[in-house]
Amino acid sequence: MRLTNLAATAAVALLLAGCTNETLDTVDKADVDLRTVKSKTGYELSGRIVDKMRTLDMPRTSPIMLRILKEEGLLEVWKADSANRFQKLRQYAICAWSGKLGPKVKEGDRQAPEGFYPLAPGQMNPNSSYYLAINTGFPNAFDRANGRFGTNLMIHGACSSSGCYSMTDEQMQEIFALARDAFKGGQKTIQLQALPFRMTAENMARHKDNPNYDFWKNLKAGYDQFEITKRPPEIGFCDRKYVFNQQGSVMNPTGACPADMSTPPALSAALSAYNRKYDEDYAKALSKFKGMAWYEPSEAERKAVVAKTREGRDLAYAPTGSSLAAGKLMKVTELEKKESLRAEIEEARKAAEVQKAELDKISKSGRAVPVPAANPLPRPELPSTMTAAAPPAKTGSLFAALFKRTEPEAPPVDPKITEVSPDPAAQATASTPVHKPAPHGTQPVAARGMPLGGAQGSTPPPASGKSARAGATAAAPVPTPNPAEVAASPNGDAPAGEAPADKPKKPFWKIWAN
């Protein structure tokens, strides 16, 4: 059986694979020109990729495996060689993934899945709105056993993600062709390993305080076995956990693991040696990160890292940077303050969403939407000159009403105003000093309510209509003459600018009205 063959090669594979951490290789650029692609499903791989497969002794239709490393932002394509051991053929930079490190839990949380998922031919979608798509199969038996749910979680093109792993269209064209050829060679399902990061001792120590740490330790068991054997592990589920390469009875995802479940002896020995080295490296990493903690960036912070790449691109193009580029190691005390502030912001955002949902519910029900209370502060009182009531309109006889022209009343004159814009003729006259005695019977108008000379008495009642405007002009306040200037004048005349007020004339219609 397959497990027997796997165990027989485990010890040799351990020596070949070694226990050192894998370093990040340069990402591969998709060797595709979409302008020349006539059929997305019939596209043939470039000569460069075919030559590399030949060099690595990989049959063109041999099985493949996909591995996602979320934190690094990488999607790897591993392909079996003639010895049925998998080697890395391609490594792509993921264009966009949403959310943060950690599994998908529920619909709408924007999280991209983490776990082990089989991809069957029926999950390949050549007619996707996102160029090409592969359904991850989330939720699997593990997700359902743990109450996790969600739909339409894909690996697709278009570089825009909401819970998916989004690639460029060129990358998806190559991945789709590699999967198609593997299915042609007889592969039933392609294993997808969606992992938070390379599960090395140092990375695990760096994330030891993450609330998903126990879940990641479960995934690490499968990661370790692939690193040792270089073959995708067989997946099982029991006790709401993943189990890998286990022999025994039928397993129940929600039930206890079978008592007779066991690991093949050769694989168990290889794992023991692997874990001893891991424990040593983990202890060193804990010492290295003492007093430090990893700040996990938000999706917005990852987008900011690659914001410049969006310039000149379509609005739908929404890449996200890697968590390694946007996150950082911080002192524990500093991280606690930062996380506290972020929690407050998140709480305020959720409160705003709840309030909006409640208002939408009220609006749909037809009930009145609550209106904020009026401003309790008193309004400022307007000056008396601005609130004075208009004088009552005069009434005349019926005959007078028939011939009366209705014109707007002149606004009340503010006693504070001391300057009046004279007509051009008056300006010309005022510009030349004139010393003439005031006509008999006229009284100069006092400025600011002060009598001029010894003149006293009440102001005549205002006229209506045109005479009201004329009267308003004539009765406009004039500055009080300077006593020194009057004394200096030879004849004691008032200085220029004090024109005598004309007597108001009776409008012609008043004669008819009376």
For residue 366, is pLDDT > 50?
yes
Cβ of 496: how many Cβ atoms within 10 Å? 16
Question: Residue 44 — pLDDT band, cuts 50, 70, 90?
Answer: very high
**Average pLDDT of 132-156?**
97
User: Residue 476 in contact with residue 413, Cβ under 8 Å?
Assistant: yes
Mean of pLDDT values over 363-372: 71
Q: Which residue has the higher pLDDT, 141 or 467?
A: 141
- Coil, helix or strand for 130? coil
Outline where 23-88 has alpha helix (H). Answer: 47-55
Residue with tokens 């009026």, as numbered in its chain: 374
Grade residue 371 by pLDDT with cuts at 50, 70 and 90.
low
How far, in Å, CA of 12 to CA of 507, rounded?
123
- pLDDT, tens digit, 9 for 90 and up, residues 207-265: 999 999 999 999 999 999 999 999 999 999 999 999 999 988 889 999 999 999 999 99
CA 204/CA 201 separation, integer angstroms? 5
DSSP 8-state class, residue 60: T
Q: What are the phi and psi torsion angles at 298 (to 5°)?
A: -80, 170
Using one digit for the tens of pLDDT, what is the confidence trace for 147-196? Answer: 999 999 999 999 988 889 999 999 999 999 999 999 999 999 999 999 99
The residue ranking higher by pLDDT, 35 or 465, is 35
> Exactly one of 19, 95, 159, 164 is catalytic; which is it?
164
In the chain, helix, strand, coil percent, each to 5?
A: 35, 10, 50
- Quick one: pLDDT at residue 285? 97
Lowest-pLDDT choice from 293-307, 449-463, 478-492: 449-463
Tell me what the mean pLDDT of segment 380-406 comes to.
Answer: 51
Residue 212 Cα distances to 108, 149, 303, 332, 385, angstroms: 19, 17, 23, 18, 73
**357 SS3 class:** helix
From CA 139, how far away is CA 460, in angstroms rounded?
95
Q: Cα 147 to chain center, whole Å?
A: 29
Asked whether the CA dihedral 96, 100, 106, 107 is positive or negative, the reply is negative
440 catalytic per annotation: no
Instruction: Give me Rg for the CA atoms of the chain.
Output: 45
Give the pLDDT score at 482.
57
Determine what percent of the chain is predicted with pLDDT higher than 90. Answer: 56
Instruction: Indicate the range of 291-305, 317-331, 349-363, 399-413 predicted with least confidence.
Output: 399-413
Strands (E), 267-350: 292-295, 328-331
435 pLDDT higher than 60: no
Q: What is the pLDDT of residue 449?
A: 45
Provide the pLDDT for residue 423. 52
In angstroms, the CA 71 to CA 26 distance is 16
DSSP H or E stretch at residue 413 = none
Which single residue is written with the structure tokens 């794992």? 271
Active-site choice (156, 159, 207, 238): 156
pLDDT tens per residue, range 3-21: 444 444 444 344 334 333 3
The per-residue b/e assignment along 193-218, b for 16 or more CB within 10 angstroms, e otherwise, is bbbbbbbbbbbbbbbeebeeeebbee
pLDDT for res 383? 55
Exposure letters 432-448 (e unless 16+ CB within 10 A, then b): eeeeeeeeeeeebbbbe
Q: 204: which 2 tokens?
A: 């695990």
- Tell me what pLDDT residue 284 has: 97
How far are the Cα atoms of 16, 75, 224, 236, 371 from residue 195, in angstroms, in the given order?
23, 10, 12, 17, 50
- Predicted confidence band at 46 (pLDDT cuts at 50, 70, 90)? very high
Checking if the pLDDT of 72 tops 90, the result is yes
What is the arithmetic mean of pLDDT over 425-440? 47
Residue 349 has a pLDDT of 84
Phi and psi at 212, nearest 5°, equal -95, 10
pLDDT confidence band for 306 (50 / 70 / 90): very high
pLDDT class for 23, splitting at 50, 70, 90?
very low
Cα–Cα dist 101/76, whole Å: 18
Per-residue pLDDT at 80:
98
- pLDDT on residue 453: 45
- Specify the pLDDT at position 313: 87
Q: Where are the beta strands (DSSP E) in 43-123?
A: 64-69, 74-80, 86-93, 96-97, 115-119
Which range of 377-391, 440-454, 462-476 scores highest in mean pLDDT? It is 377-391
Phi and psi angles of residue 236, each rounded to the nearest 5 degrees, phi first: -135, 170
Query: Does residue 174 or residue 471 have the better pLDDT?
Result: 174
31 contacts 50 by C-beta, under 8 angstroms:
no
The whole-number pLDDT of residue 315 equals 83
Structural domain spans, the chain:
2-330, 331-364
Contacts of range 180-187, beta carbons closer than 8 Å, 24 or more positions apart: 180/41, 180/124, 181/45, 181/60, 181/61, 182/61, 182/62, 182/63, 182/64, 182/79, 183/121, 184/61, 185/59, 185/60, 185/61, 185/62, 185/63, 186/61, 187/63, 187/64
Q: What is the mean pLDDT of residues 325-332?
A: 92
Q: Residues near 164 by Cβ (< 8 Å), separated by ≥ 6?
A: 97, 98, 112, 152, 153, 154, 155, 156
**CA-to-CA distance for 475 and 469, rounded, in angstroms?**
10
- Lowest-confidence pick of 309-313, 341-345, 447-451: 447-451
Neighbours of 93 (CB within 10 A): 18
Q: Which residues of 312-340 are buried (b: 16+ CB within 10 A; e: fewer)?
A: eeeeeebbbbbbbbbbeebeeeebeeeee
Which pLDDT does position 18 carry in this prediction? 38
pLDDT, tens digit (0-9, with 9 covering 90-100), for 282-295: 999 999 999 999 99
Q: Is position 164 annotated as part of the catalytic site?
A: yes
